[in-house]
Amino acid sequence: MSFDMNKLMQQAAQMQEQVQKMQDEAQNETAEASVGGGMVKVSANGAGQVLSISISPDAIDPSDPEGLQDLVLAGVNEALRAASAKVEAKASQMQSELLGGLGLPGLGS
């Protein structure tokens, strides 16, 4: 089996470019979560940023601020999880494609 160092270096550079591209695209990968029967909706991106929070007037009960806090927290966590899952799925696909292109036994497809 021959080993082409130049090819490996080219592929490492391509991999680095792909990782940077993926990080840039993570900001565009968004997800929305709805909790409490739609009383709280949260949108987040794959870069871990909360983009928006929408709270229905029905969710605002002055005698139960903890309930609203719990809904907002649950919505934020779910939106961030869902956006992260989208980014991870793309990263996994990209990794498989890149490693498969290396032609090394046991890597990729």
CATH number at residue 72: 3.30.1310.10
**Per-residue model confidence (pLDDT) at position 2:** 64
The one-letter amino acid at 34: S
Edge-to-edge order in the sheet of strand 50-55: 30-35, 40-45, 50-55
Residue 40 is assigned to a structural domain of this protein: yes
**Per-residue model confidence (pLDDT) at position 91:** 80
**Per-residue model confidence (pLDDT) at position 92:** 84
Residue 10 is assigned to a structural domain of this protein: no
**Per-residue model confidence (pLDDT) at position 102:** 58
**Per-residue model confidence (pLDDT) at position 73:** 97
Rounded distance, CA 45 to CA 36, Å?
A: 21
For 58-86, b/e burial (b = at least 16 CB within 10 A) is ebeeeeeeeebeebbeebbebbbebbbee
**Per-residue model confidence (pLDDT) at position 109:** 44
Q: Which domain holds residue 56?
A: 33-79
Give mean pLDDT in consecutive 10-residue pieces for the chain, a chain of 109 residues. 76 80 82 96 94 96 96 97 90 76 53
Residue 2 structure tokens: 């021959």
Residue 52 is assigned to a structural domain of this protein: yes
